Amino acid sequence: MNGVNDEQMAPQTFLYGCVLESGKEGHFNPEDDELEHQLDLRMACVDPSTKDELHTVEVEGRDAEGQVVKATLVTLKPSTLPSVCLGGFTITPPAVFRLKAGSGPVHLSGQHLIMMETGQSFDESE
Amino acid sequence: MNGVNDEQMAPQTFLYGCVLESGKEGHFNPEDDELEHQLDLRMACVDPSTKDELHTVEVEGRDAEGQVVKATLVTLKPSTLPSVCLGGFTITPPAVFRLKAGSGPVHLSGQHLIMMETGQSFDESE
Amino acid sequence: MNGVNDEQMAPQTFLYGCVLESGKEGHFNPEDDELEHQLDLRMACVDPSTKDELHTVEVEGRDAEGQVVKATLVTLKPSTLPSVCLGGFTITPPAVFRLKAGSGPVHLSGQHLIMMETGQSFDESE
Amino acid sequence: MNGVNDEQMAPQTFLYGCVLESGKEGHFNPEDDELEHQLDLRMACVDPSTKDELHTVEVEGRDAEGQVVKATLVTLKPSTLPSVCLGGFTITPPAVFRLKAGSGPVHLSGQHLIMMETGQSFDESE
Amino acid sequence: MNGVNDEQMAPQTFLYGCVLESGKEGHFNPEDDELEHQLDLRMACVDPSTKDELHTVEVEGRDAEGQVVKATLVTLKPSTLPSVCLGGFTITPPAVFRLKAGSGPVHLSGQHLIMMETGQSFDESE
């Protein structure tokens, strides 16, 4: 079981980023390999091209009953709060990010973590 | 015991969100299944429909003696601080969230974690 | 030893909150049971009754030599920064919180964690 | 296997800092020893010499398919938000940081962590 | 090995605070006992006596090659951002904190963690 524990303690970390605009969603929906995927959202920010109004980001995911639910993640305004730390908000795929208010762009970034499924180690799969 | 440790290290993560308004509370009170539930609050934010005044969110939970206690969680104002990272504030059910000041809406979001009870593994329960 | 490790990985979490005003301190000093107590401070915030001036919170605890030391924890102002995430500032009892500047109220909130002492498990103590 | 687990739980921590300006990038690309390197970004901030405009920092890394990807990390402005906590944004080398907007300087800081590769312990390598 | 693992999972936590002013540095340089020391910086803040200008804090530590390096940690201004969460910035001794801009006072606070060295437990050392 040591191989499994090793991987769970040190998952592989990749860079994730998406840009939200009117009519342009962001997605976290990795392909269906046999691995466990997770997104740790770290930062949300505007850029100099973002209009100076309140921008609200919504995330759509699944609740514990498996139903699609929406939550309001963050609200930014260039002249008041151009960046917010999301503190490692863990997102389980599939998830969709979209602007509920404002026309963007709003940038989300974080870490795409890939872990082994329970009972499987890299030693076995590689 | 490996099954128990595995689940504790990698609980299942679901999306949680609620909207607080005058007279509209939020609740974290999962049904009594035999699993252990936890809420990691990540973000609090307003939206463009929120009136520009100080909004204060109160959480009602239990202290170490089992008594109902209230704590003031966060204070937001659209023109000053439209979003605040709550940094993973862990809430044990049952808990109630409500506005102590301001008429909202104020949005809370985070992760609903489900873990196995001590001495029980998914292998046994499924 | 499995019982001890289980509890250390998943301590019991309770809600902690206190309100600081002129002449009114907050305390974290759980009764002397045989358990290990810890406070993870999560948020500091003002409310609409807080005067619009800089409020500075001091914490009094112990340093590594066992001496009483004071540290300045956070400074808030309703019109500039009404809430601050403390990010899980771990406080070991006994500790005292007080306003060093401003008349309050300032609210602190977080998690009161209770863990087993080394070499003792819930199975044995209950 | 105990040596490996010990090191993974307590990696060695070093200080990392870089300064971004127009035409001056920051890099995280440790030399190819046999150790595992990771950067936990903690803070981004301006200084008194930074022009009062929005500064946007971009990070270039790798996604899960091994492709080079860019993400917008943070946006700062001296008169609005001179510092932002990045909350431990984990960066896997090689990575490049650069200003996408603004002329800087913008400062990034964090922890350079060095861990042992799987299947190898300090006891064996030293 | 259980004693070592226990201590690593639950290091002892003490309060750390320092005040930075012109010509007054802060230090994290615990005496050379046989224990492992670490500082988790949590908060930086000004107080009502701090002049309303940008204050920049520099930290001096060691990089992975053992060389002395400096990084810019945080920039605060009383009227814009009186407090910043540092999110648990881990500092390995010896380290020095100083103001690179502004005359202070600026307050740093956090947790001084003391852990056992690898291969040694409290049971053996006490």
Per-residue pLDDT 10s for chain E (126 aa) are: 333 334 344 689 999 999 999 999 999 999 877 888 999 999 999 999 999 999 999 999 999 889 999 999 999 999 999 999 999 999 999 999 999 999 999 999 999 999 854 444 434 333
Among residues C10, C14, C74, C70, the alpha carbon closest in space to that of C40 is found at C14
- CA nearest to B27, candidates B115, B112, B117, B116: B112
Quick one: how far is CA C109 from the chain centroid? 7
Distance CA(E51)–CA(E105), nearest Å, equals 8
pLDDT for res A34: 81
Which pairing describes strands E12-20 and D83-91: parallel, antiparallel, or unpaired? unpaired
Cα–Cα distance list, C92 to B51, B63, C115 (Å): 40, 17, 12
Rounded to an integer, the average pLDDT of A2-23 is 73
Q: Taking CB atoms and an 8 Å limit, are E72 and D13 in contact across chains?
A: no
pLDDT in tens, B39-60: 999 999 999 999 999 999 999 9
Mean pLDDT in residue range B62-75: 95
d(CA D3, CA D1) in angstroms, rounded, equals 6
| Residue A4 with chain B: CB contacts under 8 Å | 6
Per-residue CA distances from A31 to A25, D110, D120 (Å): 18, 32, 32
Closest CA to A96 of A69, A74, A56, A65: A69
| % of chain C exceeding 90 in pLDDT | 75
Q: What percent of chain A has pLDDT over 90?
A: 75
Q: Which of B31, B60, B47, B42 is nearest to B104 (CA)?
A: B47
pLDDT bin (cut points 50, 70, 90) of residue A119 is very low
Burial class of A67 by CB neighbour count within 10 A (0 to 12, 13 to 18, 19+)? exposed
* Alpha-helical runs (H) found in chain E: 2-9, 122-125
Q: What is the three-class DSSP state of E14?
A: strand
More confident residue, E1 or C52: C52
Please give the helix or strand (H or E) that residue C55 lies within, else none: strand C55-62
Q: How confident is the model at residue D32 (pLDDT cuts 50, 70, 90)?
A: confident
Is a pLDDT exceeding 50 seen at residue A118? no
The minimal CB distance from D14 to the residues E62, E76, E84 is found for E62
Contacts of C79 in chain B (CB under 8 A): 80
- In this prediction, the answer to ipTM > 0.95 reads no
The secondary structure of chain A as a DSSP string is: -HHHHHHHHS-EEEEEEEEEBTTB-EEE-----SSEEEEEEEEEEE-TTS-SS-EEEEEEEE-TTS-EEEEEEEEEBTTTBSEEEEEEEEEPSSEEEEEEES---EEEEEEEEEEPPTT--HHHH-
Mean pLDDT of chain D: 86
Looking at residue C118, its pLDDT comes to: 45
pLDDT, chain C, mean:
86
Q: Does E67 touch chain D (CB under 8 A)?
A: no
Q: Tell me which of B27-36, D13-22, D40-49 is least confident.
A: B27-36
Asked if B72 and C19 touch (Cβ cutoff 8 Å), the reply is: yes
Residue where the block lists tokens 């006072």: E105
Beta strands in chain B (DSSP E): 12-20, 26-28, 36-46, 55-62, 68-76, 83-91, 95-101, 106-115
- Residue E107 with chain C: CB contacts under 8 Å: 71-72
pLDDT computed for residue B1 by the predictor: 31
Interface touch D107/E1, C-beta < 8 Å:
no
CB contact under 8 A, E63 and D87: no
Query: D88 exposed, middle or buried (CB, 10 Å; 0-12, 13-18, 19+)?
Result: buried
Q: Inform me whether the pLDDT recorded for D117 exceeds 90.
A: no
Residue D124: pLDDT over 60:
no
Average pLDDT over residues A13-22: 97
Contacts of A23 (CB under 8 A, 6+ apart): none
Tell me which of C7, C29, C31, C45 to substitute to probe the interface with B (most B C-beta atoms closer than 10 Å): C45
Put simply, whether C42 touches E (Cβ < 8 Å) is: no
Please check the confidence at residue C11 and state whether its pLDDT lies above 70: yes
Place of tokens 């079981």: A1
Residue A1, pLDDT score: 31
Tokens matching residue D36: 């595992």
**Helices vs strands, H then E, count in chain E:** 2, 8
d(CA D37, CA B39): 32
**Residue among E75, E103, E108 with most chain D CBs within 10 A, to mutate:** E75
Interface test with E, best of C37, C41, C59, C75 (most E CBs within 10 A): C75
User: According to the model, what pLDDT value does residue B8 have?
Assistant: 41
* Distance separating alpha carbons of residues C126 and B98, to the nearest angstrom: 36
Taking residue A59's Cβ as centre, other Cβ atoms within 10 Å add up to 24
Flag whether residue A17 sits within 8 Å of chain D, measured between CB atoms: yes
pLDDT grade for B116, boundaries at 50, 70 and 90: low
Q: Which residues does chain E have within 8 Å of residue D78's beta carbon, measured at their own beta carbons?
A: 54, 75
* CA dist., res. D6 & res. B113, Å (int): 27
Cα–Cα distance for residue pair E62/E60, rounded to 1 Å: 7
Question: Is E107 an interface residue toward C (CB < 8 Å)?
Answer: yes
Record: contact A92-B42, CB cut-off 8 A: no
Q: What is the model's pLDDT at position C34? A: 81
- B66-101: string of b/e by CB count within 10 Å (b at 16+)? eeebebbbbbbbbebbbbbbbbbbbbbbebebbbbe
Q: Do B73 and C10 touch (CB under 8 A)?
A: no
**pLDDT (0 to 100) of residue A44:** 98
What are the boundaries of each domain within chain A? Answer: 2-117
pLDDT tier at C116, thresholds 50, 70, 90: low
What share of chain E has pLDDT > 70, as a percent? 83
In chain C, what are the helix, strand and coil shares in percent, each to the nearest 5? 10, 55, 35
DSSP D35: S
Measure in Å the smallest separation between the Cα of A101 and chain B Cα atoms.
7
How close does chain C come to E68, measured CA to CA in Å?
Answer: 26
Interface contact C43, partner E, CB < 8 A = no
- Name the residue facing D87 among A13, A16, A42 (closest C-beta): A42
Q: Which residues of B touch A116 (CB under 8 A)?
A: none
- The CATH T-level fold of domain C2-119 is Jelly Rolls (2.60.120)
Instruction: Tell me how far apart the alpha carbons of residues E11 and E34 are, in angstroms, rounded to a whole number.
Output: 15
**Residue B95 has what pLDDT?**
97
Q: What angle do CA A44, A52, E56 make, to 5 degrees?
A: 60
CATH assignment of A2-117, given 1.10.10.10, 1.10.260.40, 3.90.1300.10, 2.60.120.340?
Answer: 2.60.120.340
Q: Residues near D15 by Cβ (< 8 Å), separated by ≥ 6?
A: D109, D111, D112, E59, E61, E62, E63, E69, E71, E91, E92, E95
Domain E2-118 is classified in which CATH homologous superfamily? Nucleoplasmin core domain (2.60.120.340)
pLDDT at B3 exceeding the cut of 60: no
Instruction: Determine the average pLDDT of the residues in B60-65.
Output: 93
Nearest CB to B17; choose among A56, A72, A92 = A72
Name the strand (E) or helix (H) holding C39.
strand C36-46
Distance, in Å, from the CA atom of C12 to the CA atom of D77, rounded to the nearest integer, reads 41
Q: Is the pLDDT of residue A116 over 70?
A: no
Both tokens assigned to C49: 């009754």
